Homo-oligomer: A and B are copies of this chain.
Amino acid sequence: MPLGTDYAGQDCSVARALEVVGERWTLLIVRDLFYGIRRYNDLRKHIGLPPATLTDRLTSLIAHGVVARVAGEGARDEYELTPKGVSLWPVIYGLSQWGGANYVEDDKRMRYTHRSDGGLIRPDGICPGCGEIPEPTDIVIQKRSTADTDPISVALREPHRLLEPLRR
């Protein structure tokens, strides 16, 4: 049976969340949408998953109200996070901090800064300057690893705000 219909705990919030975003690839898609990647082929190339799987995951995310398909510049549709999707930010950030602390060298980790005051956001999500937890739209990211050379990874080395469409 597919994950997405059968995690046991009916009233467990963690299980309910994982029913929606717990399948393989799903959280990487959400991550990329935070990064401003919005087009089908950009997602596919950046994440490196088979098109059938990408279509399946996007369909599921749209059905659950996490992602919306919207008209983009030009005739192409794009995918973007709904407010419900944006509220997944603490989960993505938590995974990023844990994965970074344990598996990525310091100088290759993504840098997260608070747009209003330039503060380097701490692992617990708080901006040391203002003491607040910034909203995703107030967070500026910069990819510092140079391991990947595809156009999207290269574009992510420029600082830009979360959720702001990545233009190339």
On A, residues with C-beta under 8 Å from B are 3, 7-20, 22-24, 27-28, 31, 47-49, 84, 87-88, 90-104, 108-110, 124-125, 133, 145, 147-148
Contact = CB atoms under 8 A, between A and B. Distances in A.
A108 B11 contact: yes
State the number of copies, please. Answer: 2
Contact of A96 (B17, B24, B93, B125): B17
Contact of A101 (B7, B24, B49, B87): B87
A97 B90 contact: yes
B91 A10 contact: no
A10 B148 CA distance: 8
A90 B126 CA distance: 13
Contacts of A90: 90, 94, 97-98, 124
A92 to B, nearest CB: 6
A3 B24 contact: yes
Contact of A13 (B14, B99, B147): B99
Contacts of A109: 13
